[in-house]
Amino acid sequence: MITSPDNDNTRDEPMVFIVIAKAYENEGGEPIDLHVILTAPDDDTAVRLTLNALSEEGFLEADLDQIGMINGAPDEEPHASAYQGALEGEVAIIRFA
């Protein structure tokens, strides 16, 4: 993935990624739907940081379904505060129970 364009279209803000995943807290347990929001220089780094954060939170396994960039702050919670946290260097994990 190209992180620094060769033209005048440089990014003014950091690259904020959203990773849509299913993670497992217990072996053979039910999957938990997650959104992970973070900043990273490229998508490979975003994946690595996501997996590290999920491991630190006690998840044994994760299936990463989709990754994309967020262009502009979301309007609705919990994504709005997670986006702000990502801009401050956090890896925000949103759980859907």
- Look at residue 6 and tell me if it is in a domain: no
Cβ–Cβ under 8 Å, residues 92 and 38: yes
Banded pLDDT at 11 (limits 50, 70, 90):
low
- Residue 9 included in any domain: no
More confidently predicted of 5 and 57: 57
Structural domain range at position 89: 16-34+41-96
Residue pair 39/87 in contact by the 8 Å Cβ criterion? yes
State the pLDDT confidence band at 28, using cuts at 50, 70 and 90.
Answer: confident
* Residue at 4 is within a domain: no
- 52 in a structural domain: yes
8 inside domain: no
Which residues are 37's β-sheet partners? 18, 92
Query: Is residue 3 a part of any domain in this protein?
Result: no
Residue 60 lies in a domain: yes
Confidence of residue 91 (pLDDT cuts 50, 70, 90): very high
36-50: pLDDT as tens digits: 999 999 999 999 999
Task: Quote the mean pLDDT of the chain.
Answer: 91
Number of structural domains found in the chain: 1
72 within some domain: yes
Predicted TM-score (pTM) of this structure:
0.85
